[in-house]
Chain A
């Protein structure tokens, strides 16, 4: 077998986030417009390896994906053993902005999925002028629990008598479209199986509580300076196309497309299909630079 060396480079950067120092891992590939990619809850930046390895993306974009603190190869902060991890809207935004500043990224594009798809809305709201464009995958104003009419499913995912890695993978496995290749489906689930205890549940605090945007703050948000693109897979039952449409109704400038044969993890569950939706958007954003 011949050697396959991917163009991805991984490094660590120390960030000061809300007064605490964090050792954060990130990967990058390509050159051009910075493109910061935000992973889903309980996962990490490996979800974006399709973009990193796609010359059609990296020819014009410097693709970067960091693992949130506590995730992937990023360490939890010193003293983590004495606290319960919770992701908040303030903490999440502070992390993205600290990463942008530390790497000196000039008006990057931000792309995020799931909690990252929510985060691009918060970034647009709070720091819109700092970004060139925002791309939300599986974006919704809020998130419900699959058992919302009976019980909170996440309460089963962080207790000693449940194998959380298996249970979390079980919780999200049905969010993958049935047409997605098995190898990519299971690699996506493997990322979830590797999360630290309580991390997925801690991320859900942002997704379901702290980051709920049914508060009117983004209603009528102007997208002239920072265009907003929204892509949602039709098989996602947690952030459905109908829920993304709710965003379009209050941000008329947003451009929205439903992605067929894709679920909640378009970039990792079936990149070959996802890129047919992503590349035209990246070309459009690149053309804005030329104009």
Chain B
């Protein structure tokens, strides 16, 4: 997962997983937003419309800034992606709390849809996007 090409290939697997989860899409049905997903120094922009992921692009390709971004190192995301991660990596708030990850930007958007975003990141675990 070190280069952009392999990250792009992995992120292509994410939208079908999220969009195929009817309850997760319903949870985000009022949500239209772009969020940032950082891996090491690279930032990916995930565009969400009515709870569905409609596009994943690199920040260089994206035309606008994300509302917020959640960033961690590649090894931290790989640990998060395990079925039973080590303590401190089992959840995005756990990673933030233990300083394995950092959230920046509009935290109101993040918290007001927290269960939805947790579902999106957990979908990455289920789809082995980050492993």
Contact = CB atoms under 8 A, between A and B. Distances in A.
A163 B112 CA distance: 7
Interface in B12-38: 27
A170 B118 contact: yes
Contact of B98 (A150, A157, A162, A237): A237
A177 B91 CA distance: 10
Interface residues on B, range: 20 to 34
Contacts of A175: 91, 94
Given A147-B103, A150-B107, A170 B87 contact: no
A238 interface: yes
Interface of A: 144, 146-147, 149-151, 153, 156-157, 161-163, 166-167, 169-171, 173-175, 177-179, 234-235, 237-238
Interface in B83-123: 83-85, 87-88, 90-94, 96-99, 103-104, 107-108, 111-112, 114-115, 118
Contacts of B111: 153, 156-157, 162, 167, 170-171
Contacts, number: 68
Given A156-B107, A179-B84, A174 B115 contact: no
10 contacts: A150-B104, A153-B111, A156-B111, A157-B111, A163-B112, A173-B91, A178-B85, A178-B90, A234-B87, A237-B87
Given A147-B103, A178-B90, A237-B88, A170 B114 contact: yes
